[in-house]
Structure 1
Amino acid sequence: MHTIDHSIDNKALVQRIHAELDKGNGQAFIDSLADDASWTLEGSTPWSRTYQGKQAIREELIRPLFAQFAGPYVSKTECIVAEGDRVVVLFSGDVPTKAGKRYNNRYCYVYRLEGGQVKALTEYFDTALVERALDAPTAHAG
């Protein structure tokens, strides 16, 4: 039994996602998430944990994060490397916060794809900048 190499399709999918993110459009990213996707933010920041499921990712991570931004979040993709079901992206982002700070982080995203969807994402980032520029997420009620 041989496995089919889907790394080309996976790389193309992630290239499309990040091409849209570079225009300030996060919809392609949201659309690509499997319902049971997980997103792990590494480190020991107040934001650092695994967000389990598309709904939790939207409500507990994306919504409270973007609520702090004073303008559109635009990223700049630097490099995409793919092998098998993993795609790694190096990129940066820049946005002013409503508190008047500059959130200009650099990231390494490690995607794991399955069936043309994002099943797992691990994010590495400048944790010291998160502590300086962002407020902690508000405690999720219920």
Structure 2
Amino acid sequence: MSTNTFPQRVIRGGLIFAAVSCAAIALAPAANAQTPEQNKAAVQEKFDAWSAGTGNPFELLADDARWTIEGNSAASKAYPSKEAFLANVIRPFNARMTVGLKPTVRSITAEDDRVVILFDAQGTARDGKPYVNTYAWFFTLRSGSVVEASAFFDSIAFNDLWSRVEPGQ
């Protein structure tokens, strides 16, 4: 015969229910989680808009997104936020161009919360010379926004543009 009284059984049962509920919540996918296909489609949409001149993939960045330019280019380092990246890389880059970059996507691959984009891009610098480069970007997405990015590209082509052409107004 059990010596547990009714209140003790209720409390113990409640604690077990709470523990099981917490475990189920921890193991369940996040309500805002996107599938790899949804992440890929969101990135593809922004690259299509960029190519058409009606948008860009930076619209996907969360405000606190960390963007790292890998390698040894003049801009290689980790940028701790969307604004830091845009202010220190994208705006000065665009200010060096008379015809902005137009991407041609080679491939977009998605797995779990990661999307990898391999693309070529070309534009015209303020000095009239073409800028051509190939990029590989690795995105980590949460709830449809990029929270982390790593970028690889030809640093020789980038450094040439960065040092040769002064940003315009």
Aligned residues: 137
Question: Which residue does 1:10 correspond to in 2?
Answer: 39
Deviations 1:29-65 (A, max 9, x none): 2321101001111111111111111111221111111
Which letter does structure 1 place at the counterpart of 2:58? I
Cα deviation for residue 25 of structure 1 reads 3.4
Higher RCO (C-alpha 8 Å, min separation 6): 1
> Structure 2: 5+ residue runs without aligned partners?
1-26
Q: In percent, how many aligned pairs have the same letter? A: 31
Answer whether contact 2:97 2:124 (CA < 8 A) is retained. yes
Question: Which residue does 1:128 correspond to in 2?
Answer: 156
TM-score by length of 2: 0.74
Question: Which residue does 2:18 correspond to in 1?
Answer: none
SS of aligned partner of 1:45: coil
Who wins on radius of gyration, i.e. which is larger?
2
Question: Which residue does 1:81 correspond to in 2?
Answer: 109
Answer whether contact 1:113 1:119 (CA < 8 A) is retained. yes
| 1:22 is aligned to 2:51 | yes
Cα deviation for residue 104 of structure 1 reads 0.5
Deviations 1:47-99 (A, max 9, x none): 11111111112211111110000113211111110000100011010011112
TM-score by length of 1: 0.86
